[in-house]
Chain A
Amino acid sequence: MPDFIAQWLNQNEIFTAMTIMEYWNGLVNTVQLVFLSLVIGLVFAIPLAILRTSKNPLVSGPVWLYTYLFRGTPLLIQLYIIYYGIAQIPGIQDTFWWEIFREPFYPALLAFALNTCAYTTEIIRGAIVSTPAGEIEAAKAYGMNWWLRMRRIVLPSAARRAVQAYSNEVIFMLHSSAIASVVTIVDLTGAARNIYSRFYAPFDAFIFVALIYMVLTFILVFAFRKLENHLLRHQRPVGS
């Protein structure tokens, strides 16, 4: 190890084992929160996107309203409404739901999942709508029913078209999750804020956490590039 790094490690009072552990716990919280909300969001987004493409306005209308409301307002306000609002629902403090929602983690998870689900629904809807008409015609000509057509033709080809926009949404969610620290969750940003206020060292606390977020972002970008290459391998020019 170069001398100056060893010297710096010995001299600094901030990056001790304890603060590193605090950052680690924050990382675990951030990853949990982001991963769970993305999974929940994606699971609900697929059926919602299909409903959103329905020709019946009574079916597609409510989904449109939901995505419009959640995409048109800041996530921070959605988080505040859910976090402060749940405690105000009459009678909730006597039910078992209160045991779950008194922890800040779950209101935050609910807000994040609802938000990312709205964006993901629109991404998938866009991909479904742009399915080439010929593919659907061919499926019909083969006598596939609606369900089989969706499962074998429309959704797989929509997934290929949606993956790039979805990778942006995932990175966006990672970055948006920083606001969880506002409702007392000690995620990565929360850990950095604690360490800042203890040492009054803004540069050390926040630049370190910014680097962690950057590494996470690059890992995601890399993983999605691999996935995209895999999904779109039939489009690669011959011989490459």
Chain B
Amino acid sequence: MLDLKGYGPELLDGAVVTIELAFLSLLLSLTLGLIGASSKLSGNRLAKAIATFYTTVVRGIPDLVMMLLFYYGGQVTVNMLSDWIWEAYEIDFFFQFDPFISGVVTIGLIFGAYMTETFRGAFLAVETGQIEAARAYGFTRWHTFRRIMFPQMLRHALPGIGNNWQVLLKTTALVSIIGLTDMVRVAEEAAKAERMPFHFFIPVAAVYLILTAGSELFIKWLNKRANVGVVQGS
């Protein structure tokens, strides 16, 4: 059997951290993606400009650089803020900027930009006739969005969301660099201490492989469900 030299429980905890991080970032990115896509498709020029700026900037910067910026920059901002609050109101407002929070925020922000593009394409794929019909029935804009656009858009967005999720899952490994004790961090420390790199990294790689392979199956199943009743042109 695989002998993890007593690092087993720590690795397991690390795996839980990885999964938590991935799910929370996914949630944030989906929210940002919906907001971004709605702004891009809205008539409001300011909202459109902000969303375009957001997606362009985020997709031009490496994820690691952004993570370092948020992690170190976040701490400096908190320090400055707490100094200012102390001087102005004598309230002690200091907290350590957590690598977990910076990880979730960074990964969420990055994939929010990718989700924006996914949702934008999916919204555009819904036929305009559907919207016209909803308006003809006297649906309000919000109602049209919630009852007509959103459910039909999801079907088109699913493959893109699935791809983004697979990339997101692998990006979570980067948080080990800013000091979060995820699976990769534990494996790195164990590998250095025991001088056995293959012994610790290969099981971690296998866990990632199981996660990505499992997600692939799940996404396939979701796709099949979402496309029930849709006649695909061959």
What is the interface of chain A, defined by CB distance below 8 A to chain B? 69, 72-78, 80-81, 84-85, 88, 171, 174-179, 181-182, 189, 192-193, 196, 200, 202-203, 206-207, 209-210, 213-214, 217-218
Contact = CB atoms under 8 A, between A and B. Distances in A.
Contact of B61 (A80, A81, A176, A214): A214
Interface string B68-84: 11001101100000000
A213 to B, nearest CB: 6
A89 B75 CA distance: 41
B44 to A, nearest CB: 26
Contacts of A76: 173-174, 176-177, 184
Which of under 10, 10 to 19, 20 to 34, or 35 or more describes the interface residues of B?
A: 35 or more
Contacts of A202: 68-69, 72-73, 75-76
Nearest to A76: B173
B62 interface: yes
Contact of A88 (B65, B196, B204, B213): B196
Nearest to B209: A72
Contacts of A176: 62
B198 interface: yes
20 contacts: A72-B213, A74-B184, A76-B184, A77-B184, A80-B184, A80-B187, A81-B197, A84-B191, A84-B192, A175-B61, A175-B62, A179-B64, A196-B68, A200-B76, A206-B73, A209-B65, A210-B62, A214-B57, A214-B60, A214-B61
Given A69-B209, A77-B184, A206 B72 contact: yes
**Chain A CB within 10 Å — which of B62, B171, B174, B188 has the most?**
B62
Nearest to B204: A77
A192 B205 contact: no
**Chain B CB within 10 Å — which of A75, A78, A81 has the most?**
A81
B73 A203 contact: yes
Question: 3 smallest A-B Cβ distances: which pairs?
Answer: A84-B197, A202-B72, A74-B173
A182 B192 CA distance: 14
Contacts of B60: 210, 213-214, 217-218
Nearest to A216: B60
Contacts of B69: 202-203, 206-207, 210
B143 interface: no
Given A77-B204, A81-B198, A189 B73 contact: no
A77 B68 contact: no
Nearest to A87: B197
Nearest to B73: A202
Contacts of A77: 173, 184, 187, 201, 204-205, 208
Given A76-B174, A80-B191, A178 B209 contact: no
B73 to A, nearest CB: 4
A72 B73 contact: no
B197 A85 contact: yes
Given A74-B184, A202-B69, A202-B72, 6 more contacts: A72-B212, A74-B170, A74-B173, A74-B174, A77-B184, A81-B197
